[in-house]
């Protein structure tokens, strides 16, 4: 009897949250009307900042930029007029979206006029429209203003962080949103190196911007050039200089187990240490890394390894050598620090302390 009631209860706990999403919505890049070359990709940048802010709401199924770009690319569809409602409805139908938000940015010298509309795809009716005139340096306010307006129209709660952006207009360096906009364009063209360069520049200007951090997380790669030859050397598993570009805290766990191919031929020989490794070799690492500010970052690891066979050569001539056998269990800790000096230059240091016990 208990089982009969338990199964439906479990199913509801997983199924009900899926039905809390009421609106499938997509944002198009905004059309830009400006002769200022700095604003060339501003329609992409502002659109993505609003999308990131909207994604905080649990009542929206926000169509990601990658999915929209992939679908339009597959059908070779190009928007001839980003501000044209008819063309946008076509895009919305392709994405199976309920609503699609689009609009335009008009350069007014010192300020910009940003006018956005939301179309209900099924009826092709424009159901919401709003606009703001402000300086582009107030991009946090712009992001919060339109996000709040859209969520209120849909009857959804507005996150406190969004409300704070609207209530407190804080001018920032517009070069941050310019760099981010260029990064989004480079990201669309799959030029990841160029995108990352612009994102790092944007982060240095505005380190707390959530859209910049999100895109950096998409592009974040391990810059390691090291290769671990043996766990007993305990080199860092990645280039510590990479930590200078770290954007968010990370926890990582790695396990590596290798089978030795022969009991007679050593799997690994380190001449400079006169070490041979036989049989099976296991190594694990548990690490935590996090930024310390705009440019420094650190990583702490605890690790352990267990070679079933390790021999130390006692003579220079291998034919006359005698070997000492060790069955070791080893543990240790490691600390690494990275510092980004410029957008393209960083340095790092790492140190390890470990203990080996002959079991």
Residue 13, Cβ density class (10 Å: 0-12 exposed, 13-18 middle, ≥19 buried): exposed
According to the model, what pLDDT value does residue 46 have? 97
Residue 69, Cβ density class (10 Å: 0-12 exposed, 13-18 middle, ≥19 buried): middle
For 63, the domain range is: 19-219
pTM equals 0.59
Q: Burial letters for 196-232: b for 16+ Cβ neighbours within 10 Å, e otherwise?
A: bbbbbbbbbbbeebbbbbbbbeebbeebeeeeeebbb
Answer yes or no: do 286 and 186 share one domain: no
Bigger pLDDT: 128 or 226?
128
User: Residue 115 pLDDT more than 90?
Assistant: yes
Mean pLDDT score, 289-307: 81
According to the model, what pLDDT value does residue 351 have? 86
User: Residue 274 pLDDT more than 80?
Assistant: no
User: Residue 60 pLDDT more than 80?
Assistant: yes
Judge contact between 354 and 323, C-beta under 8 A. no
- Total number of domains in the chain: 2
Bigger pLDDT: 284 or 338?
338
Mean pLDDT score, 48-63: 90
DSSP code of residue 63: P
- In the numeric block, which tokens belong to residue 354? 């470990």
Judge contact between 128 and 153, C-beta under 8 A. yes
Residue 11 falls inside a structural domain: no
Pick the most confident of 120-124, 186-190, 257-261.
186-190
Answer yes or no: do 208 and 253 share one domain: no
343 CB-near residues (< 8 Å, 6+ apart): 197, 200, 201, 204
Which position has the token pair 């996090």? 290
According to the model, what pLDDT value does residue 253 have? 81
Answer yes or no: do 304 and 171 share one domain: no
Answer yes or no: do 160 and 252 share one domain: no
Domain end position, chosen among 198, 219, 240: 219
Answer yes or no: do 155 and 72 share one domain: yes
Rounded-to-integer distance, Cα 193 and Cα 333, Å: 33
- For the chain, percent of residues with pLDDT exceeding 90: 31
Residue 225 falls inside a structural domain: no
Residue 10 falls inside a structural domain: no
The 10s digit of each residue's pLDDT in 3-33 is 433 334 333 333 344 344 468 898 889 999 9
According to the model, what pLDDT value does residue 230 have? 40
Answer yes or no: do 76 and 167 share one domain: yes
Alpha-carbon 171 to chain mean position: 26
Mean pLDDT score, 64-76: 64
């Amino acid at each position: 009897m208990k089982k009969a009631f338990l199964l439906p209860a479990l199913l509801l706990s997983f199924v009900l949250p899926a039905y809390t999403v009421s609106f499938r919505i997509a944002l198009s890049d905004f059309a830009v009307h400006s002769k200022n070359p700095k604003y060339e990709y501003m329609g992409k940048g502002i659109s993505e900042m609003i999308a990131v802010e909207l994604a905080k709401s649990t009542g929206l199924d926000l169509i990601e930029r990658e999915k929209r770009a992939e679908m339009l690319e597959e059908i070779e569809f190009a928007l001839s007029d980003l501000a044209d409602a008819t063309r946008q409805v076509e895009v919305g139908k392709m994405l199976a979206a309920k609503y699609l938000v689009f609009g335009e940015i008009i350069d007014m010298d010192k300020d910009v006029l940003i006018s956005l509309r939301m179309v209900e795809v099924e009826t092709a009716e424009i159901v919401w429209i709003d606009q703001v005139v402000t300086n582009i340096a107030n991009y946090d306010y712009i992001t919060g203003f339109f996000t709040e307006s859209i969520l209120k129209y849909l009857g959804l709660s507005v996150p406190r962080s969004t409300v704070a952006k609207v209530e407190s207009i804080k001018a920032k360096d517009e070069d941050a949103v310019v760099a981010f906009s260029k990064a989004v364009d480079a990201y669309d063209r799959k030029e990841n190196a160029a995108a990352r360069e612009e994102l790092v520049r944007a982060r240095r200007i505005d380190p707390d911007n959530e859209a910049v951090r999100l895109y950096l997380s998409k592009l974040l790669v391990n810059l390691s050039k090291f290769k671990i030859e043996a766990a007993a050397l305990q080199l860092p598993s990645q280039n510590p200089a990479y930590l200078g570009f770290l954007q968010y805290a990370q926890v990582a766990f790695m396990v590596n187990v290798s089978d030795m191919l022969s009991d007679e031929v050593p799997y690994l020989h380190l001449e400079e240490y006169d070490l041979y490794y036989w049989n099976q070799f296991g190594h694990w690492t548990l690490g935590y890394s996090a930024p310390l500010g705009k440019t420094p970052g650190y990583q702490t690891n605890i690790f352990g390894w267990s070679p079933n066979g390790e021999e130390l050569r006692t003579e220079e001539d291998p034919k006359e050598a005698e070997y000492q056998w060790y069955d070791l269990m080893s543990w240790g800790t490691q600390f690494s620090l990275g510092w980004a000096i410029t957008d393209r230059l960083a340095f790092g240091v790492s140190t390890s302390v470990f203990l080996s016990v002959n079991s």
